[in-house]
Amino acid sequence: MATTKINDELETLYQSFYDNSISSINGRNHSIDTFIDRPIDNRRGLSLIIWPDKEVQKNIEKFNGELREIDSSQYYQPISDLHVTVLSIISCQDGFTIDQRNVDKYIEVISTSLKDIQDIQIRFKGVTTTKEAVMIQGFILNDNLPTLRDRLRENFRSSTLMQDIDTRYLTKTAHITSVRFRDRIRNAEEFVKTIEKYKGLDFGITKTTDIDLIYTDWYCRKSKIKWLNRFALDERGYSREENHTL
């Protein structure tokens, strides 16, 4: 699987996101997430995620800080919550609880899928938008992320475990959501100008050997997450499981 071809596809996809949403943002006709500030939100799901390194976090926080100065009313993803979704195994849905599931069986399928996967490397460069959010663009530096996703799809669909992989959309990107719209943007022109300023910025590279299985809310809030397992990789590929249940 050629990374160049995949990244070309990602570039086209990110650009299409931007083209289809930036005029709505500039015109203050963007979507508003009405769930962010609700005191009760019972949507929960099961996801595999990776965390960006500190350099990437720092650069995203700087970007978010500039946008926050223009409009502090939006939801700026805290550093602790910034993540890349490897794959959503069970999409967030109202009333789903992990107590209903045998977590060990999920860990077993994931462990099998991780064979010979040594690390995941992503370069975060540029920003894009949707009508709901601002995102940091991620591009793969090796084949391990798409390979792992394909294995997970095949292995979970061959199992009897509950899953709804790719039901909402086919997961291809390696982005980080940094801002979610919870109100009309107050100064849309300046907000968009700042986004455009960062369109080509290199936020840094993350090379991770840790992948976390989490029971999470829609926003991956650290305060809401229940860590189920950490899969640690080494030069031989998947090596061990570290239970991080809280």
C-alpha to C-alpha distance for 76 and 179, rounded to whole angstroms: 5
> Residue 209's closest CA among 140, 154, 144?
144
Q: What is the band of 180 on the pLDDT scale with cuts at 50, 70, 90?
A: very high
Instruction: State percent of the chain over pLDDT 70.
Output: 93
Q: What is the mean pLDDT of the chain?
A: 92
Under the banding of pLDDT at 50, 70 and 90, the label for residue 221 is very high
Residue whose pair of structure tokens reads 């690390």 in the numeric block: 119
Confidence of residue 244 (pLDDT cuts 50, 70, 90): very low
pTM for the whole structure: 0.93
The torsion angle over the Cα atoms of residues 37, 40, 43 and 48, rounded to 10 degrees, is 70
Contact of 143 with 3, CB cutoff 8 Å: yes
Q: For residue 238, what are the β-bridge partners? A: 233
Distance CA 78, CA 121 (A): 22
d(CA 1, CA 172): 14
Q: What are the tens digits of pLDDT across the range 112-168? A: 999 999 999 999 999 999 999 999 999 999 999 999 999 999 999 999 999 999 877
Q: Who's near 14: CB < 8 A, 6+ residues apart?
A: 126, 128, 135, 137, 173, 175
CATH of span 3-242: 3.90.1140.10
Q: Is the pLDDT of residue 94 over 70?
A: yes
What pLDDT digit, counting tens, does each position of 68-78 carry? 999 999 999 99
Please give the structure tokens belonging to residue 170: 């086919």
What residues have CB less than 8 Å from 159, skipping those under 6 apart? 105, 109
pLDDT at residue 8 in the model: 95
- Residue 65's contacts (CB-CB under 8 Å, 6 or more residues apart) are none
Per-residue pLDDT tens digits for 196-211: 999 999 999 999 999 9
Residue holding tokens 């960006």?
52
Please state, as a whole number, how many other Cβ atoms lie within 10 Å of the Cβ of residue 14.
Answer: 23
**What's the pLDDT at 99?**
83
Strands 226-234 and 237-242: antiparallel
